[in-house]
Structure 1
């Protein structure tokens, strides 16, 4: 079991001429006795964990087509799993999933899903969890298909922000840039960020003033096709790639939903940057950092100062529980689902 490393301090205050009083700062984010608990293991890659208003935990399994094939060569079509905290059982919620990646629940309790490429939907869908009906709410921009919607965040006005990079898939690249988009409540789609490198995780801060964006630029748009080429080489020489921007960035988010770059909070180069991220009620950022030298969940203050670190295998995303379990942090990493109980409560959209 990985050792949890809480970061906190004791402050000394001088009162009067000779009196010293020890004042402990806010309790550590990660309790000293906290344990990372594995809940489920799938076959390929888990992603996009999110907790519904009823407490059920949903997450994606991205079944890479160059890996997840049966003996006849048939491709697994991607899955959305549902974990029930009361029973500990994990079952398939939806398959095929459209190669779902990021999952979020809006203020009405509807499931919003980013569906990627590699035989996926390349779209954003919204599911009514009562009726089970699903609608496609974004799939084209300027008359062309999206690249591969990856992660999702929603503001208090109901506007949906999503990243659209490309990491794998046989499909062509129809958009001229890997960008962040905003889907308004009237159904209109707007490209709002084009200077984030290769955008991945996105998250609106609780005060609605910041849009956090992760760049994780691995230097390629089709890792599956590169893997095939490498496998075909007798000497197994790796194809050289130049990684791009690996950073956690803050954008000023205006009332009209527009975003302007403010600051790079953390630069991870030459190692990999984060994947998904989420905020707690205090506005701290929990990022699934894939850096080879230090993989795990890093907790940052809004100014980028690191507050805590939870070592894990290479992580992909994070999501807080609800109600009495609002301090439970769920983590997707490798092919598994984990959880750990913290001393902070997660931020959730006010329900409508």
Structure 2
């Protein structure tokens, strides 16, 4: 059995953190420093993790048995380089109940569904109101089959000022089962990671803005429309010189705990937004996902992949 290097630390803010992760648990570094920016992890039911390196336009596969390998190259845009594009690859991934994987394809400026068995893809949406998306960043499915995703301008070198940008807002969108696309919210400057509460009625969204580093909670009706919203948590007090990371990727446990990448690592918060603790790797963590039997948290940590064992399980692993 491979022994991995221990990195980072666990920081407790509340005694309840000990019920989430053993205080003696090791944060393990699973790969070398081989990625420009690792992102978008998701656990595939066949028994492996997929994640992306958007700047390098590659998708990787990792498992305990087989280690690291390239799964897709390119993961996104396959043509000649496009002037003004800084991330040609895919970004966020999400494994659906049927085993298919949703892909936030930043380079191709669309959202797709991929069959991990044969790597075939079907485009779900690439435009809203006749205009191309900017660079879909993260994606998640609701229990009713609808798909939600965020569309910040991170794929462009000049961000909002890019001549490639067609959408007037940086939005949160919903794709209904019939393919119809709806703008859910346009109030965030940098909407990024997103995840649902266990009942599917609350959508958590990270705002990766160093001037407003918050997470929003949107209450949704049966159709997926917003009926209310609130600031779920605010990381302004954690922003400091030398602290790496912003609100980015999200994952939720079966009990409703929110695992949110942010300043310093992965913040673990209860359903009221109270901080219980932080899982740290020593570098900025872009995203996280539950894997194995649901009680392992995998983290894409800048240049490497990391994991930590938990006492709680992620959504989708309860059966």
Kept in 2: contact 1:107–1:158 (CA 8 A): no
Moved more, 25-34 or 154-163: 25-34
Kept in 2: contact 1:6–1:31 (CA 8 A): no
**What is the aligned-residue RMSD (CA, Å)?**
1.9
Kept in 1: contact 2:14–2:275 (CA 8 A): no
Counterpart Cα distance in 2 of 1:84 and 1:311: 22
Q: Please, which runs of 5 or more residues in structure 1 have no aligned partner? A: 10-24, 64-75, 219-242
Q: Please, which runs of 5 or more residues in structure 2 have no aligned partner? A: 1-6, 77-88, 240-244
Counterpart Cα distance in 2 of 1:191 and 1:145: 13
User: Which string of whole-angstrom CA distances, capped at 9 and with x for unpartnered residues, describes residues 134-173 of structure 1?
Assistant: 1111111111110110011111111110000012425611
Deviation at 1:267, TM superposition (A): 1.7
- Does 2:316 match 1:343? no
Counterpart Cα distance in 1 of 2:124 and 2:229: 29
Kept in 2: contact 1:277–1:317 (CA 8 A): yes
Written as runs of structure 1 = structure 2, the 5 A alignment for 1:266-345 is: 266-269=233-236, 271=239, 273-289=246-262, 291=263, 295-312=264-281, 313-322=283-292, 325-345=293-313
CA 108–51 in structure 1, closer or farther in 2 if over 3 Å, else same: same
TM-score (norm 1): 0.77
Deviation at 1:321, TM superposition (A): 0.8
Deviation at 1:130, TM superposition (A): 3.1
Written as runs of structure 1 = structure 2, the 5 A alignment for 1:59-98 is: 59-63=51-55, 76=56, 78-87=57-66, 89-98=67-76
Kept in 2: contact 1:57–1:85 (CA 8 A): no
What is the SS of the residue equivalent to 2:92?
A: strand
Kept in 1: contact 2:90–2:103 (CA 8 A): yes
Kept in 1: contact 2:261–2:286 (CA 8 A): yes
1:192 to 184, 192, 202: 184
User: Which string of whole-angstrom CA distances, capped at 9 and with x for unpartnered residues, describes residues 43-62 of structure 1?
Assistant: 30000011011221000012
Aligned length: 288
Kept in 2: contact 1:211–1:259 (CA 8 A): no
Deviation at 1:123, TM superposition (A): 0.7
Aligned match of 2:215: 248
- Does 2:8 match 1:2? yes
TM-score (norm 2): 0.85
Deviation at 1:273, TM superposition (A): 3.5
What is the SS of the residue equivalent to 2:255?
A: coil
Written as runs of structure 1 = structure 2, the 5 A alignment for 1:222-261 is: 243=211, 245-261=212-228
Counterpart Cα distance in 1 of 2:148 and 2:310: 27
- Does 2:156 match 1:166? no
Larger Rg: 1
